[in-house]
Amino acid sequence: MATITIGGLATGLDTDSIVTQLVALERQRGVGVLQTQRTDANTRRIALQTFNTKVAAFLTAVNKLKNPDDVLVRKAASSDEAVLTATAGSGAHAGATEITVEQLARPAIATSANGKAAATSTVATGSGSFAFRVGPSGPVQTVAIDATTTLADLAAAIDALDAGASAAVINVGTTASPDYRLRLASDATGTESAVSIVTDDTTLGVAVTQSARDAQFTVSGFADPLTRSGNSFDDVLPGVAIELRAAGGPVTVTVTGDDDAIAAQVDGVVQAFNDIVRFVADESTIEQDTSSDDRTVSIGPLALDATVRGILQSLRGIISGPTTTGDDGADPYTVLAQVGVTTARDGTLTFDQAAFRAQLQSRGSDVAKLFAGANGGSGVADRLSEYLTAVTQSGGLIDVHNTAVADEIRSLEERIAAGQRNLDAFEENLRAQFTSLEVLVQSLKSQGSFLAGALGSQS
């Protein structure tokens, strides 16, 4: 029920101001404290979300160095890109190979011998069919035709079969003297996509005018030529994708180590880790305002976060600690400092690219083992990836921590809502009490006036 407020009419007190100040004081002691805690928790939640994003970026960078083939990035070069191009990927091995392209793969093409004046011209004198096959043993594809079937209708019906061949109507004449023909071509190249005409009840005279053909080429070291159904393949040289462009050669395909790409991947790991370190440092400051009388202390949202600091400490331990690569060699690398990655005083990593490239040139396989391991042993990247995957997965350390902070915020919001209800009741009660006081004082004044009047009349 709403309370009727009489603002100091009888007492002369500024009851509205008094109530407002008392409510504000009560809010500061109760709801205000909870609201401050909620603001701090939300700031911490946002900082944790950013931390999570940076940790995920670090994991992505680390995973690029888990596989020895990925560590030792290769690049391929063709001595004549007009004949063929080469691109190195994972698993490519250093070396040079000569390839001579004898012929390119091509699709099968069938065309009509008889032309029509327009695409809307009919192609049959009565009912019948047009049938063809794609591939040496493919199913027969049939289109029913009749005296009303036009050249455009036939092409559309062939396309609708989705049989691995496409039809088109092409004007091989001129605008003044049109000559429309049917062109039927296999979608893929190679002899496995050969086209054969089975039935032709049209007046077009469709026949194969270009036979399908496989690509044919020779590779140094092999006397017999190799064939592929297409002009692009990646199963001849391990880890190298080749695209044939023209007959010719011999063309030398050279695969070498891509030191720039390798160094860039390691630098990506270093920068991603440093991004985490600097962010945590920026969000963990503790500062005191010496210019104010109360000497207020400001604490960063991650300054007291044991989970974040624990994760960062674990990452530092993996990065700086020795690793067992599984290599039985006489002098294996065991720490990143041996290849130019060291820890600075502020906890960030420094990357000496010159030192790294020197080690890469002299002992590339050992560098790969340091990061990716060998013979069942784990490298630095393996260990980092395993730890980061565990802490970032659903139910992992970061997920549990985020859930705890979200639960804390939810609890604070519930307590704030309950506190606000109590505060509203407190204010309503205060106003009711002051209203009762005003009524009482007004009543006493009325009684006083009455008595004063009565006594005055008797005298």
The per-residue pLDDT for range 105-136, each reduced to its tens digit, is 999 999 999 999 999 999 999 999 999 999 99
Same domain, 94 and 140: no
The domain boundary, picked from 197, 226, 257, lies at 257
Residue 404 lies in a domain: no
Residues facing residue 85 across a β-bridge: 243
Q: Are residue 82 and residue 119 in the same domain, yes or no?
A: no
Q: Are 27 and 363 in contact (CB under 8 A)?
A: no
Mean predicted confidence (pLDDT) in 417-434: 73
The answer to whether residue 24 is domain-embedded is: no
Q: 3-class DSSP state for residue 62?
A: helix
Task: Assign 243 a pLDDT band (cuts: 50, 70, 90).
Answer: very high
The residue-averaged pLDDT of 88-108 equals 93
The pLDDT, as a whole number, for residue 1 is 44
Q: How far are the Cα atoms of 8, 210, 229, 245, 371 from residue 101, in angstroms, in the given order?
A: 105, 20, 14, 9, 39
Q: Would 451 be classed as within a structural domain?
A: no
303 confidence band (pLDDT: 50, 70, 90):
confident
- Cα separation, 161 vs 131, in Å, equals 11
Task: Answer whether residue 115 is part of any domain.
Answer: yes
Is-contact 130 199, C-beta < 8 A? yes
Domain co-membership, 381 together with 304: yes
Asked whether residue 130 falls in the same domain as residue 161, the answer is: yes
> Position 336: which residue type?
L
Query: What residues make up the domain containing 383?
Result: 32-69+260-398
430, part of any domain:
no
421-425 — which CB contacts under 8 Å span 24+ positions?
422/30, 423/23, 423/26, 423/27, 423/30, 423/31
Is residue 42 located within the same domain as residue 95?
no
Same-domain pairing of 311 and 235: no
Residue pointed to by tokens 């062109």: 183
Domain total of the chain: 3
For residue 155, pLDDT over 70 is answered with yes
At 133, phi and psi to the nearest 5? -130, 140
Same domain, 117 and 192: yes
The residues pairing with 232 across neighbouring beta strands, listed in sequence order, are 243
Verify that 192 and 163 share a domain, yes or no: yes
Q: Are residues 50 and 117 in the same domain?
A: no
**Helix 259-282 to helix 306-320 angle, to the nearest 10 degrees?**
150
Per-residue model confidence as pLDDT tens digits over 341-358:
999 999 999 999 999 999
- Pick the last residue of a domain from 380, 398, 416: 398
Q: Taking 90 as the threshold, does the pLDDT of residue 82 lie above it? A: yes
Q: Are 148 and 273 within one domain?
A: no
Note whether 218 and 91 are same-domain residues: yes
Of 398, 418, 450, the residue at which a domain comes to its end is 398
Is there a domain that residue 252 lies in?
A: yes
Instruction: Tell me, yes or no, whether 218 and 237 share the same domain.
Output: yes
Stretch 223-235: mean pLDDT: 96
